[in-house]
Amino acid sequence: MRVGYEIWLLGFLVWLAACGTNNPPPSVAAATPFVPVPIASPTLATRAPVPTSAETADASEPTVLTLWVPEEFATGAERGGDILEKQIAEFQAAHPNIKLNYVLKTPYGKGGIVDWLTQLDELLPDRLPDAAIVDSRELDQLEKLSLLQPLQRDLPSGAYWDLFPPAQRIARRAGVWDNQPLTLDTEHLVYDSQRVAAPPLSWQDVLTNTTQFAFAADSTDTFLFHYLENGGSLEPQEHPVLDTSVMQSILDYYQRARANGNLNENTALIKSAREVMPLFVTGQTPMAQVRARDFMIERSRLPNALAAPIPTRDGRATTMVSGWSFVILNRDATKQDAAAQYLAWMIDPAHMGEWANAARMIPASKGAFAQAIEPSAYADLLWKLFQDALVAPTFSQQAPYADAWQSAVEAVLNGELAPDDAAFRAAQSVTQ
C-alpha cells in the first residue's frame, strides 16, 4: 500500500507542477499566453548529473524559461499586470531565442512557492522552475537546499551597487550574491494633516495626548521592529537580561497607549498591518502605522494624508524592510544565461520604474526608485528611511518568538499580566 501511495503522490506532484498554480483566476491564465514547458514522465531515480546545454536543447529552438511568481508579479495582476505583459512581449521580441513561461503560485504556506520548491527538490528535481521570485524572509530555506545560483558571474556589479543598503544586505549573504531584490516592503506612519498638527516622533510624543493611533499591536512584525530597533536579539542566550528588558519596555508602551486612549478596543489586538489602512481610509483613526504599498494604493483618495516615520522609543527615524527577490535555480549554463538576461532586462531602471509605479511597489534599486515613487516628499521620506533600515529576519528566525510575543501582548492589553511579568514569561518560553 505504501508503494502505491508514493506512486500516486508522485503523479499528483507532477500534475500540479505542470498546472502551475492552484485554481488560478481565469484572467491570469488568459493573460499568460507564453510557451509551456513539456512535461516528461517521472522517475524515482536519484538526481543525475546536469546535462550540458547541447544535450538538453536544439540550438534552433528557443530556450524556454519557466519562472514561478506570486500574484503581485503576474501578468494578470490588478496593478501593473498590463505593463508587465507589455514588457515581456518587448523582451521576447528583442530576444527571440528566449521564451518566458510565467507560472502563478501562492506566495506562502502549504502549496506556496518555497514549499513546492522544497518538495520538488526532494522528489522531482528535474521539474524545478528555472527561476522564481520569493520573499526575502524565505531565502534561507532555498540556501539550505543549495538551490540558489550565484549572480556575480552573470550580472554587472552595478546591479548590486545600485541597490539600497538594506537590499544589498539581502542580496549578499555569507559573502555570496545569490539573489537580486526587485522590490522592498516596509511600514511607516500615515496621518491626517487636518486632524494632526505634527506627527509624533517618539513613544513619549504619542502618549502626550489622546490622539488615536492604530497599529497592529498583536502583529509579530510590529513587535519585531521595536524589539530589534531597541537592541533586542534573536539569540536570547547572548544577553537574556537585556532582551527581557527590551520586551518589557515595548509591552509597557502598549499598556500605556491602551490606558491613554491611543489604542482603543477596535485596534488594540489587530494582528496584521493589512487591517489597519481601512481604518484610516474610513476616518476611524487620524493616525496609523501602515504598509507602504497600501498607502500608495489609496493615496489618490486621501488628499490630506501625509507619511512620516514610525514613532520609536528614542525618536530615531528608521524602519524595517523585507523584499521580493529574483533567484536563479537551474544549474544549466544555457538556462542561467537566459535567466540572467531577463533579470537584467527587468531591473533596468526604465523597465522597473515603469512597472513599479503602476504596481504601487517600491523598487529595491535607486535608479528605478527615482522613476517610480511620487510625490517627491514621499520619495524623500522613503529614501532617508532606507539608508539606515533594519532587514527583517527570516521567518525561521522569527518562529521561536512569535507565539511568545503574541501571548505577552494579549495578556498585557487584556489586563491579565503586568508588562514585567509578561516579558519574563515570554523570555522563559523562548529560552526553554
Please give the model's pTM, rounded to 2 decimal places: 0.86
Q: Mean pLDDT over residues 173-194, rounded?
A: 97
Across 137-286, where does the E strand assignment appear? 172-173, 176-177, 180-185, 187-192
Residue 171 in this model has a pLDDT that exceeds 70: yes
Other Cβ atoms less than 10 A from the Cβ of 252: the count is 17
Q: Mean pLDDT over residues 146-159, rounded?
A: 95
pLDDT score at 77? 96
pLDDT score at 55? 47
Q: Mean pLDDT over residues 48-73, rounded?
A: 74
Q: Are 73 and 107 in contact (CB under 8 A)?
A: no
pLDDT score at 33? 36
**C-alpha dihedral, 286 to 288 to 292 to 297, nearest 10°:** -40
pLDDT band with cut points at 50, 70 and 90 for residue 59: low
Closest CA to 68 of 32, 122, 26: 32
pLDDT score at 235? 79
Q: Are 327 and 227 in contact (CB under 8 A)?
A: no
Range of lowest pLDDT (142-146, 217-221, 267-271): 267-271
Residue spans per domain, the chain: 2-46+53-185+322-379, 187-318+395-431
**Which residues have CB under 8 Å from 263's CB, separation 6+?**
212, 213, 214, 215, 217, 254, 257, 413
Strand partners, 63: 98
Encode pLDDT of 10-48 as tens digits: 454 444 444 444 433 333 333 333 333 333 333 333 444
pLDDT score at 279? 95
pLDDT band with cut points at 50, 70 and 90 for residue 240: confident
Residue 297 in this model has a pLDDT that exceeds 90: yes
Closest CA to 231 of 217, 218, 241: 241
Residue 256 in this model has a pLDDT that exceeds 90: yes
Encode pLDDT of 98-137 as tens digits: 999 999 999 999 999 999 999 999 999 999 999 999 999 9
With pLDDT > 90 as the criterion, what percentage of the chain qualifies?
79
Encode pLDDT of 397-420 as tens digits: 999 999 999 999 999 999 999 999
One-letter amino acid identity for 222?
T
Q: Name the average pLDDT for the chain.
A: 88
Q: Are 230 and 310 in contact (CB under 8 A)?
A: no
Domain covering 2-46+53-185+322-379, topology:
D-Maltodextrin-Binding Protein; domain 2 (3.40.190)
Q: Are 146 and 139 in contact (CB under 8 A)?
A: no
Per CATH, 2-46+53-185+322-379 and 187-318+395-431 having the same topology is answered yes
Q: Are 207 and 262 in contact (CB under 8 A)?
A: yes
Encode pLDDT of 329-353 as tens digits: 999 999 999 999 999 999 999 999 9
Rg (CA), the chain: 23
pLDDT score at 29? 33
pLDDT band with cut points at 50, 70 and 90 for residue 210: very high
In angstroms, the Cα distances linking 131 to 43, 68, 94, 348 are 23, 7, 20, 18
CATH number of 187-318+395-431: 3.40.190.10
Residue 262 in this model has a pLDDT that exceeds 70: yes
pLDDT score at 24? 39
pLDDT score at 49? 46
271 half-sphere exposure, CB direction, 13 A CA radius: 6
Give the C-alpha separation, 128 to 111, whole Å. Answer: 14
Q: Are 225 and 310 in contact (CB under 8 A)?
A: yes
**Which residues have CB under 8 Å from 415's CB, separation 6+?**
none
**Which residues have CB under 8 Å from 102's CB, separation 6+?**
32, 34, 67, 69, 74, 75, 88
| Sign of the C-alpha dihedral computed for residues 292, 293, 294 and 299 taken in this order | positive
**Which residues have CB under 8 Å from 4's CB, separation 6+?**
none
Q: Mean pLDDT over residues 239-256, rounded?
A: 90
Give the C-alpha separation, 29 to 21, whole Å. Answer: 10
